[in-house]
Amino acid sequence: MNIEQYKINAAKTMSNQWHLSIFDTEELHCAIGIVTEFGELMQAVQNPVGLDRVNVLEEIGDVLWYLAGFQRRYSDLDWEETERLGYNDITTLVKVGTIEAIELLDMYKKFAYYGKPLDPTKIKSECYFIYRACRDILLNMGYTIEECRQINIDKLKKRFPNEFTTEDAITRDLDSERKILEGESGTRK
């Protein structure tokens, strides 16, 4: 089948349904965000020059930010005291987190476009493993979750001095944000 025929036939099986409410879009945003942050995290870990610790810290902070969206929705998500996953290699932990993030996003795709009900227990389980992968990466780098959260909020306060605006999201001062991630003196662990 040539590409033109394939595009026509593929379009016949594309869902044109949308099953999300406004309330669900925050969760979808968080699921998408977690996947994209793990993509950026993989780039930081596989940096040919060596592990980009500052970028890893930033991406983990962003994943934690998205996980907080799920924690707002599911108030019983409390993972502060969890055992380690058992991997000491950061690349392996990124892969574990990525797989869980993709599984989480797949649930939202099926819900948004096919109407398949969301399973809160499964959502919480995926979020739990994502959290644990992030926490273990941070521990391997000598950081705590609390430090990473604070650094993330400090960066976001620089980006959004008052509250979120589209303009601030698009027009960013990456040099100033990087200084925050490095510590004002550039000596953060």
Q: How many whole angstroms separate alpha carbon 138 and alpha carbon 62? A: 13
Q: Which amino acid is at 7?
A: K
Question: Could you read off the pLDDT of 118-170 as tens digits, one per residue?
Answer: 999 999 999 999 999 999 999 999 999 999 999 999 999 999 988 888 888 88
Looking at the structure of the chain, the number of domains it has is 1
Residue 47 placed within a domain = yes
Residue 166 placed within a domain = no
Half-sphere exposure of 20 (CA within 13 A, CB side): 16
Expressed as residue numbers, the domain containing 82 is 20-152
Of the chain, the percentage scoring pLDDT greater than 70 comes to 93
What tokens appear for 95 in the block?
């892969």
Residue 165 placed within a domain = no
Residue 183 placed within a domain = no
Q: What string of DSSP letters covers 53-113?
A: HHHHHHHHHHHHHHHHHHHHHSTT---SS----S---HHHHHHHHHHHHHHHHHHHHIIII
Query: pTM (2 decimals)?
Result: 0.85
